[in-house]
Amino acid sequence: MAAYVGRRVLASIPVLLLVVTAVFFVFQLIPGDPARAFLGPEATPDTVEQVRRDLGLDKPVVVQYVTYLRRLLQGNLGKSISTRRPVAVELGSPFRNTVNLSLASIVLATVAGVLLGTVAAVNQGKTWDHVATILALLGISIPVFWLGLLMMYLFSVNLHILPSAGNDTWRHYFMPTVALSVFSLAFIARMTRSSLLEVIRQDYVRTARAKGVPEWMVVGYHALRNALLPVIIVVGLRFGYMLGGAVVTEQVFAWPGLGRLLVQAVGQRDIPLIQGILLLFAAAFVLVNLVVDLLYGFLDPQIRYR
């Protein structure tokens, strides 16, 4: 097991280096001067040049890249152009808010998705199966921003029972969590149904039924436990996508997370802050995938042997 963990950790390092390199050089290809864009057209050339020297933009690209890597190894993400504060400080609170929202969404999506998929599989070809399938298709098809605006109109404007923005209390979590979890919920439900139907047809499940084991125990203990192995991968991947894909949800509900901060940073052309957000998204996604790989290897020893 230790060798498997070591291989997976080492395999993640080149991915992170590739992401860091891509994030750095993509911004070098963007036309325009970040210092000029930040200071505005009224700034004098001397002021623009001073800002470029402060940010190290006057040096060759290779030197900037090496300096950038050296800072990252020291845990230094640079300073925000707009606030002049360290990027790491700027990312602290928004990152916690995004993680909290993503955790609440993935828990809701997993519980409801597994339940919906199990009901559909147990009632294959029956009314509940058709209902679950239609709900899953709707969940995959509905745009997040449209669902968010619809819930805001219903619960905030008409019924006045839920706040439309912010993250102060648990009531602020309800609509963003539902909006962000719907797609993943539908995806997990479809995966659970497909995996459970495959497991239910196995010989050991038929043997358990022949022995007179209650149906709820056959499904819940014998079948569902093994059917959830591929679902674990889907849950991990969806959580990674939520961390990086909550931009629309955070914008709709004015959620003070990384997605909303990214939109603001793009509007201000704050390149150090944008790079820090993208790197944090990438690192979180790689870390989630690493945890999923290790968990799957722990649950299925054959993965480690291969």
Pick from 7-11, 141-145, 245-249: least confident: 7-11
For residue 163, being part of any structural domain is answered with: yes
Average pLDDT over every residue of 121-132:
84
Using the predicted structure, report yes or no on whether residue 305 has a pLDDT greater than 60.
no
Q: Residue 235 belongs to a domain with what CATH number?
A: 1.10.3720.10
Using the predicted structure, report yes or no on whether residue 109 has a pLDDT greater than 60.
yes
C-alpha atoms less than 13 angstroms from C-alpha of 112 in its C-beta half-sphere: 19
For residue 83, being part of any structural domain is answered with: no
Using the 8-state DSSP alphabet, how is residue 221 labeled?
Answer: I
Average pLDDT over every residue of 48-69:
76
For residue 159, being part of any structural domain is answered with: yes
Residue 4's pLDDT is what?
A: 66
Q: Is 63 exposed, middle or buried (0-12, 13-18, 19+ CB in 10 A)?
A: exposed
pLDDT-above-70 percentage for the chain:
88
For residue 156, being part of any structural domain is answered with: yes
Pair of tokens at residue 231: 């679902």
For residue 76, being part of any structural domain is answered with: no
pLDDT-above-90 percentage for the chain:
3
Residue 107 CA to its chain's centroid (Å):
13
pLDDT tens per residue across span 157-192: 888 888 888 777 888 888 899 988 888 898 898 888
In degrees and rounded to multiples of 5, residue 86 shows phi and psi of: -60, 140
For residue 68, being part of any structural domain is answered with: no
For residue 102, being part of any structural domain is answered with: yes
pLDDT tens per residue across span 201-229: 777 777 777 777 777 677 766 677 777 88
For residue 80, being part of any structural domain is answered with: no
CA–CA separation, 63 and 12 (whole Å): 25
Residue 169: Cβ within 10 Å count: 9
> In the chain, how many domains are there?
1
Domain that holds residue 289: 91-305
Residue 36's pLDDT is what?
A: 67
Residue ranges of alpha helices (H) inside the chain are 2-29, 34-39, 45-55, 61-73, 87-122, 127-141, 144-151, 170-200, 203-210, 215-217, 224-245, 247-252, 258-268, 271-299, 301-305
